[in-house]
Amino acid sequence: MEIVLQIGDSALNGLSYIGSRWRSSARPILDNTNQENSNEIQDYVSRSGAMSRSVKWLRRRAAEQVLSTNRSGDSTAGANPAPYPVTLLLGPIATSNLYRDDHIVYTSSGQAMGTYEYQRWAEPPSEMIKEVLLRELQLSNRYLHVYSSRSDVRGDYLLRGHLYDFQEIDGKVLAARVAFYFELHDNKTGSTVWSRYYSHDEPVDGKDVSAVVAALNRNVLSGLSELREGLDQYFSKHIAVGSTAAN
Instruction: Output helix, strand, coil percentages for the chain, rounded to the nearest 5.
Output: 40, 35, 30
Over residues 46-89, the pLDDT tens digits come to: 333 333 444 444 555 544 554 444 444 444 445 678 999 999 99
> What would you report as the CA-atom Rg of the chain, rounded to the nearest whole angstrom?
19
CATH topology of domain 4-238: Rossmann fold (3.40.50)
Domain residue ranges in the chain: 4-238
Task: Give CA–CA dist 178/200, Å, rounded.
Answer: 6
pLDDT tens per residue, range 8-52 = 333 334 344 443 333 333 343 333 333 333 332 222 223 333 334
